[in-house]
């Protein structure tokens, strides 16, 4: 699968020796994956994703499959209590972004509802902790 042409990362950092903070954003545009049925080892192309043993009809052009675009936001804040102890809070996927594949608007249902092949949501992750440094 080719890399998407439209992606970017941005980070904002702050650190004064005691307090440190970071906010990061990663954006990847939607990208074309293949025509449905591309994961098949057969020569047939049937308009459904994941079918690998379909033989009839001999040729039925499938709908395109697009990987959804993503925009992840991560943040971390830390406070250095002393030279050896640091407290921190961290969050990942703060925008609660889903991943998945669709037909990209090329094979919608009659009422305009998107045709979704897959949809995955791992959720946002929140962490709190302490870093100890022993020298």
Q: How many CB atoms lie within 10 A of CB 37?
A: 22
| Chain segment 6-26, per-residue pLDDT in tens | 889 999 999 999 999 999 999
Q: Quickly tell me which residue has 């925009």 as its tokens.
A: 71
Whole-angstrom Cα distance, residue 15 to residue 21?
A: 6
For the chain, how big is the Rg over CA atoms in Å? 22
Q: Calculate mean pLDDT across residues 115-125.
A: 90
pLDDT of residue 1: 46
| Chain segment 94-113, per-residue pLDDT in tens | 999 999 988 888 888 888 88
Whole-angstrom Cα distance, residue 81 to residue 88?
A: 11
pLDDT of residue 105: 82
Secondary element (H or E) of residue 128: strand 125-132
State the pTM of this model: 0.71
Domain assignments of the chain as residue spans, ordered by start: 7-132
pLDDT exceeds 80 at position 46:
no
């Amino acid at each position: 699968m080719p890399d998407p042409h439209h992606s970017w990362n941005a980070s904002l950092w702050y650190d004064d020796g005691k307090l440190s903070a970071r906010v990061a954003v990663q954006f990847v545009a939607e990208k074309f994956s293949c025509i449905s049925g591309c994961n098949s080892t057969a020569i047939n192309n049937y308009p459904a994703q994941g079918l690998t043993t379909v033989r009839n009809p001999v040729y039925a052009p499938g709908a395109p499959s697009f990987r959804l675009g993503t925009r992840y936001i991560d943040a971390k804040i830390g406070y250095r209590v002393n030279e050896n102890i640091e407290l921190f809070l961290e969050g990942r996927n703060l925008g609660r972004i889903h991943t998945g594949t669709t037909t990209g608007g090329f094979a919608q249902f009659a009422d305009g509802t998107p045709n979704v092949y897959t949809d995955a949501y791992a959720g946002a992750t929140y962490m709190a902790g302490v870093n100890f440094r022993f020298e």
